[in-house]
A and B are shown apart, each in its own frame.
Chain A
Amino acid sequence: MPLVEFKNVYKRYKMGEITINAVDGISFCVEEGEFAVVVGASGAGKTTVLNILGGMDSATEGEILVRGNDVSRYSDRQLIEYRRYEIGFVFQFYNLVHNLTARENVELATQICKNPMDSDQALESVGLRDRRDNFPAQLSGGEQQRVSIARALAKRPALLLCDEPTGALDYNTGRQILALLQETCRSEKMTVVLITHNSAITPMADHVIEMKSGKIVRDIYNNHPKSIEEIEW
């Protein structure tokens, strides 16, 4: 059984008389331990898919099964618990709490889950152990994003969802982050779903889902995903 299964999922927005299908009846699966990349131009509906998957948004129609449970039928509370125990999020703009140090930002996540990673260990795994007592403002963008990843990883989530994690970073730093994510996926057997508009990085993924105007136009598996060092763009 796949870890995630979208079955004919729609997300419609009503703008007056017009109904826009941000997600237009898509179905796909993500297996456990997979590094999946959803790729598409801006406005293709990929972020909506991620939000629905992350329990931050709800689908208008269709089933979203995670480990066989239909997330789309979850109550608000169940959704919160789902986010709390199953999901780790990494955003384009990191969304760190500015008033907390790097370690405290990680602790913010660890204090609410059942079996968290030690926060220092989480920071070590992203290579920021030495900077753990720094506030976000004292860290570079890449470092902040690594803290953000550490925070997500520390929860030991079933799914790590990354929304354009390199969008705000320069090329090299972006690569480092992607490498970190790929590394984590491999070593921790973490299932990662990553969204990007940059199709150049699709070769590193196990599973590539390409979207266009709310629909899936391509859903393929790379039999031989490349490591980030092998890709240039």
Chain B
Amino acid sequence: MTKALLRNTFREIGHTKARFISIMAIIALGVGFFAGIKATAPSMYNLAETYYRDTRLMDFRLVSTAGFAEEDIQAVAALDGVESVMPSYFCDAIINSEGGGEVVRLIAVPKKYEKNKALNNFSLTEGRTPRKSGEIVTESAAFAGSRHHVGETVTFNPIAGENKINDLLQTTSFTVVGKAESPLYISYPRGTTTVGDGKIDEYMYITAEDFKLPRYTELYVKADFSGEVSAFSDAYEKQAAEMQEKLRALADDREAAFTAEVIPNAQQELADGKAEFQKKKAEAEEKLGEALEQLTAGEEEYNTAIAEAEQKLSDAQAQIDSGEAALTAGEEQYAAAIGAAEQLIADSSAQLADGQQQLEEGRAALQQQLAAAKQSAADSPLGDVQTDVMDAIGSAQLGAAQSQLFAGSAQLAAGESELAVQRLTGSAQLQAARAQLSAAKKQLESGKAELEEKKTSGAQQLADARREYETAKADADKQLAEGEQKLKDGEAALEKLRGLKAEWYVFDRTGNPGYASFSQNADRLDAVASVFPLFFLLVAVLVCVTTMTRLIEEKRTEIATLKALGYGNGAIILKYVIYSSIAAVAGSAVGVAAGVASLPFIIYNAYKIMFYIGDITLVIHWPSVVLGTLAAILCTTVVSVIVCTKSLRAKPAQAMRPKAPKAGKRILLERMTPLWKHMGFTAKLTARNLFRYKVRLCMTVIGVAGCTALIVAAFGLLNSFVPLTDTQFGEVFRYDAVAVPNKAGTAQELAYLKDSAYQTGEADVAMLSLQEEATLTFGGKSTKENTHIAVPEQPDSMDAIITLRTRRDKTPLTLSDTGVLINERIAADFGFAAGDTVTLRTDNGEAQVKVDGIYEHYIHNYVFMKPALYEKLFGSEPHYNLLQVKMKNSGSDAESRFSTQMLSDDRLVAVTFMRENIEEFKNMLNSLDMVVVVMIVCAAALAFVVLYNLTNINLAERQREIATFKVLGFFNRETSRFIYIENIILTLLGIAAGLGLGVILSGFIIRTVEIDNVMFGRDIFFTTYLYAAGLTMLFSLLVNAAMAVKIRKVNMVESLKSVE
């Protein structure tokens, strides 16, 4: 390949922009579509994987009829391959009727168990996690999220199915503290329950402490492989299956253990309890006896003590009395003694005074004698001395007298002092005796007081002791009674346990509502991705064939010249190979970029109606990008090589001459002479032209058919939604409201429900109905969820409430006494028809029943039967659980009047209206419009590329012819018509083929995207065909309009000048 040739190649692209772009565009469409859709499933898988890894979704959920004990949990945790376990609680409750009456699954907030990390962590979208009792987190999914707001209170109905809410929960009123998304519920189904109308409406989280359940109700298990292998991969499924087997085996062990250990254990426990009770009882009785003895002893002691004290006191009193007598005697003695002494003293004193007198008189006499003596003496010389002696003798005589006196006086004084002393001592003695007495008296008094006090306190103590004893006795009695009761309860519980068989259910992730449908949806999408692009690729090949053929034909002279110049065939072919590969690569690049950047998001946006697991991040599926691009390159280059080789076979000289125009040929039509004769001139020309270029005919028909088919499929998809709302809720389910009683019951028991519905004046027709979850089995296949047995109370007049009829010809179907009517979806899925026998299993048993007919129905599965047949099959009278009401007036006023009046009855749990559901559902479906828009845009692009390319080539090839028409004086309009009519006929052919193809395609797409347990409509409306045909025609006309400009520009002089 020389530089010149290479340059020539690139210039060629510049000169043939329209053609190059048309190859590029169709390849971009095909590869883009392929890569884009192929990237969606991996992106979805990636999203789920990341989400599950982040939230630590469990791999298995174990539920047991008997709950789980620590031993069970330890046994599971010890199992090889178990990464972590998390026991948890759940229960189903109904929000009270003021709150809306929804059925709620309450789940314990995930919490780590011992060393195991928590599982199934929810992500908060608002608020916070419940931390204490009475706090709740509601779900944030669109339809439930709008019902509750943070800060509001959620109150549960006292009755939750067969249980009282107080037996399940510590409290019934909760404050909403946050909203969350749980990895357990990624889609809108919430599963089934035995509470309320049997369908869970939403889930909520409360703390584990708020559950009042003795044993764990569920056990989550995470396997160690789930972090390593991708969630939906085969490797995961294989390992999960193995693990499930192991768990199943363990479950069998534990079930046996429950019978072998738990019941004997309980029995043992009960026996132990009984023994202990007896022991305790004996102990208590003994203790009480002792206490009583002690009490009696105390009382006796008390009495003795009192008696003794009283004796002592009376003794003391006697002593005091004798003391007192002695004292009085003493006093008297004392007084007498004192009197005698005083007499004595007084006598002595009088003697003394006499003595004194005598003394004084003696003195005076003496002194006279003396004085006389002295006088006498004075006269004697010996007088002096005589006087002196006389003085001395007087004095001595006086002195002696005085001394005598003095001694008497002293004797008196001594007597007196003796008396004083005697008085003092006597008085002191008396005093002491008196004091002693009074002390004794006081002692006696205090003794008396003490005795009194002791008496009362003793009595008090005794009374207290008695009371204590009484209380203790009462307590003991009560405890004993309680113990007895407990033993009785224990016995009852044991009895119940004996009746209970532990049955473990091991659910893997597919048991989570929505888990399986997520991967199914992704897989289906992949299936769609594999079909569509194939079609585009086919068209791409056709476009490529025509375009390259034309290009090479036009370059015939050039090719010949190159050959003449000595270029090898390879080099010449290479030019066209390069040309087409560049178109293919560029187209693939543009297509991949556009497709991958837009399609996954557009498609996932539609899926987001159903799934709540966040937004996807793009994961490009490189194999499909490479595959798509390679396919595109291969197709274009192979086509180029083939076309080129054909052209190269000609000798240069021959090739340099213009190729003889394709000879005109008679077509089959001409042999039908009468018809041919009647055809107009243009028609004849067109007919011949159409058959002259067969490849082009095919290409156009296929392209246009594809366009039409896509539009049919797009609108068909929209059509298929219509029955989901309008037919399902307008023609099949015709009731407007559903009232749910708090307890299911027989027709008689629930008669009040119907009465109150009629009493509101709003109900036109009301009918009791039983809807019971059931599993239907046929030919080895079983339904998984959302299948119900439906028993209308009045089957003969149910038409106003529910109309059962066939879908195709709307033949009414009636319930017979021997068979059931089943909806179309299961019948189609399982492949049974009227006359076959299916197996139904409910909690009440299993039964086989004949299918009478298949009725038109779209959402979920219902097996309709008469009450009598139900009773025959399941052995019990149907317990109706809802009242379906057809209202007289529609609208929110009538609804609120109806619900207010109905809910004033406590026996009613909820009143719901279909209108709300329908609106909700319609909104959901509306977001699928985007998918329809994408399909129509693709269809338009396809139509444009194909028609434009074709017409362009047509024009180029027939330029001379067109110029001739012009020279002949044809108006532009007339000239264009020759081309148009061809296009229009081809378009019409394409449309006709496309409508047929569209029916098949839309059937395929609808079945592919159909959600589980929902049957989309199968009927394509007439308008869809009209739209498809009209839009395709419009695209065709638009292309024609674009071409008209080109036709006008055809230059006669240039075109006719000579051969190029």
| B969–A104 CB distance below 8 A | no
Interface size class of chain A, counting residues whose CB lies under 8 Å from the partner chain? 35 or more
- Taking A57-B1053, A93-B1058, A95-B964 as contacts, is the C-beta distance between A101 and B970 under 8 angstroms? no
B960 within 8 A of A: yes
The docked-state distance in angstroms from the alpha carbon of A56 to that of B1054 is: 10
| B660–A83 CB distance below 8 A | no
B393 within 8 A of A: no
- Residue among B660, B661, B964 with max Cβ neighbours from chain A (10 Å): B964
Q: Which residues of A are found within 8 Å of B660, using beta-carbon distances?
A: 137
CB distance from A84 to the nearest CB of B (A): 3
| A135–B665 CB distance below 8 A | yes
CB within 8 Å of A: which B685-739 residues:
685, 688-689, 692
The docked-state distance in angstroms from the alpha carbon of A198 to that of B773 is: 101
Q: Encode contact with B along A122-150: 1 for CB under 8 Å, 0 otherwise.
A: 00000000000001111000000000000
B664 within 8 A of A: yes
Q: Which residues of A are found within 8 Å of B974, using beta-carbon distances?
A: 112
Closest B residue to A89 using CB positions:
B967
The docked-state distance in angstroms from the alpha carbon of A134 to that of B94 is: 90
| B1056–A99 CB distance below 8 A | no
CB distance from B282 to the nearest CB of A (A): 123
| A100–B685 CB distance below 8 A | yes
Q: Encode contact with A along B660-683: 1 for CB under 8 Å, 0 otherwise.
A: 111111000000000000000100
The docked-state distance in angstroms from the alpha carbon of A135 to that of B692 is: 13
The docked-state distance in angstroms from the alpha carbon of A57 to that of B1053 is: 7
| A98–B662 CB distance below 8 A | yes
Partner of B692, one of A91, A92, A99: A99
Partner of B969, one of A57, A83, A93: A83
CB within 8 Å of A: which B938-990 residues:
960-961, 963-972, 974
Count contacts between A and B, CB distance < 8 Å: 83
B248 within 8 A of A: no
A51 within 8 A of B: yes
Partner of B971, one of A77, A92, A97: A77
The docked-state distance in angstroms from the alpha carbon of A138 to that of B661 is: 12
| A91–B1056 CB distance below 8 A | yes
| A80–B681 CB distance below 8 A | no
| A137–B1053 CB distance below 8 A | no
| B970–A84 CB distance below 8 A | yes
Q: Encode contact with B along A86-127: 1 for CB under 8 Å, 0 otherwise.
A: 010101110111111100100111011100000000000000
| B961–A97 CB distance below 8 A | yes
Closest A residue to B667 using CB positions:
A99
| A135–B968 CB distance below 8 A | no
Closest A residue to B661 using CB positions:
A98
Partner of B1053, one of A51, A87, A95: A51
| B1053–A56 CB distance below 8 A | yes
CB distance from A197 to the nearest CB of B (A): 13
* B interface secondary structure, majority: helix
| B1056–A95 CB distance below 8 A | yes
| B1059–A93 CB distance below 8 A | yes
A203 within 8 A of B: no
| B689–A99 CB distance below 8 A | yes
Q: Which residues of A are found within 8 Å of B664, using beta-carbon distances?
A: 98-101, 135-137
Partner of A95, one of B684, B692, B960, B971: B960
B1052 within 8 A of A: yes
Closest B residue to A87 using CB positions:
B969
| B661–A107 CB distance below 8 A | no
Q: Encode contact with B along A41-80: 1 for CB under 8 Å, 0 otherwise.
A: 0000000000100101100000000000000000001001
The docked-state distance in angstroms from the alpha carbon of A141 to that of B961 is: 18
The docked-state distance in angstroms from the alpha carbon of A92 to that of B660 is: 16
| B969–A81 CB distance below 8 A | yes
Q: Which residues of B are found within 8 Å of A54, using beta-carbon distances?
A: 967
Q: Which residues of A are found within 8 Å of B1056, using beta-carbon distances?
A: 91, 93, 95
The docked-state distance in angstroms from the alpha carbon of A223 to that of B665 is: 48
CB within 8 Å of A: which B1044-1060 residues:
1052-1053, 1056, 1058-1059
| B663–A135 CB distance below 8 A | yes
CB distance from A97 to the nearest CB of B (A): 6
CB distance from B339 to the nearest CB of A (A): 186
CB distance from B913 to the nearest CB of A (A): 68
Q: Which residues of B are found within 8 Å of A112, using beta-carbon distances?
A: 968-970, 974
| A84–B969 CB distance below 8 A | yes
The docked-state distance in angstroms from the alpha carbon of A81 to that of B968 is: 10
The docked-state distance in angstroms from the alpha carbon of A203 to that of B809 is: 88
| A85–B964 CB distance below 8 A | no
- Residue among A54, A92, A96, A97 with max Cβ neighbours from chain B (10 Å): A97
Q: Which residues of B are found within 8 Å of A83, using beta-carbon distances?
A: 966-969
Q: Which residues of A are found within 8 Å of B688, using beta-carbon distances?
A: 99-100
Q: Which residues of B are found within 8 Å of A99, using beta-carbon distances?
A: 664, 685, 688-689, 692
Q: Which residues of B are found within 8 Å of A87, using beta-carbon distances?
A: 969
| A80–B971 CB distance below 8 A | yes
- Taking A93-B1059, A97-B961 as contacts, is the C-beta distance between A80 and B661 under 8 angstroms? no
The docked-state distance in angstroms from the alpha carbon of A49 to that of B864 is: 91
| B967–A104 CB distance below 8 A | no
| B681–A111 CB distance below 8 A | yes
| B661–A109 CB distance below 8 A | no
| B662–A80 CB distance below 8 A | no
The docked-state distance in angstroms from the alpha carbon of A101 to that of B547 is: 28
The docked-state distance in angstroms from the alpha carbon of A97 to that of B661 is: 10
Q: Which residues of B are found within 8 Å of A56, using beta-carbon distances?
A: 966-967, 1052-1053
Query: Could you list 10 A-B pairs, sorted by A, with CB under 8 Å?
Result: A57-B1053, A95-B960, A96-B964, A97-B964, A98-B961, A99-B692, A100-B688, A109-B968, A137-B661, A137-B663
Closest 3 CB pairs of A and B: A84-B969, A135-B664, A137-B663
User: Which A residues contact B (CB, under 8 angstroms)?
Assistant: 51, 54, 56-57, 77, 80-85, 87, 89, 91-93, 95-101, 104, 107-109, 111-113, 135-138, 151, 155
Other A-B contacts than A93-B1058, A111-B681, 9 sampled, CB-CB below 8 A, are A80-B969, A80-B971, A89-B968, A98-B662, A104-B685, A109-B968, A136-B664, A137-B661, A151-B968
